[in-house]
Amino acid sequence: MTWSVSSCFITLVVLFLWRVDEITEACTCMTVHPQRAFCNADVVIRAQVVGVKAVSGNTNYDVKQIEMFKGPNQDIHVISTGGPCRAFLGINKEYLFTGRLNTDGTVHVIM
């Protein structure tokens, strides 16, 4: 290869690697202090995931509510999450959820 072709190739490789780094950072979720997450949430519960299903581009988790820290005086049975930064939760594991209450009684968690 000639000198100009080599330098163009090296430049393209560097630019490609730089763009790949930006693409992988596109799904970096902003961390929120636990106190701020609590204050901004409609619902804060401790629950165990008992089932999972995909619905309209979202992932719905069936949960067994263990404790309600903040929210309406009702049991929460479904946690819905979506978007590029969604988390994949394990069945039969306990989690602390913060989120927004939908009009249908489901909780939408943005992760």
Please indicate if the annotation marks 29 as binding a ligand: no
Q: Which residues contact 79 (CB under 8 A, 6 or more apart)?
A: 47, 49, 60, 61, 63, 97, 99, 106, 107, 109
Q: Is the separation of the CB atoms in 94 and 67 below 8 Å?
A: no
Q: Which stretches of the chain are DSSP H helices?
A: 3-24, 34-40
75: helix, coil or strand? coil
Contact 81, 106 (CB under 8 A): no
Q: Which residues are annotated as a binding site?
A: 27
Q: Which residues are annotated as a binding site for Zn(2+)?
A: 27
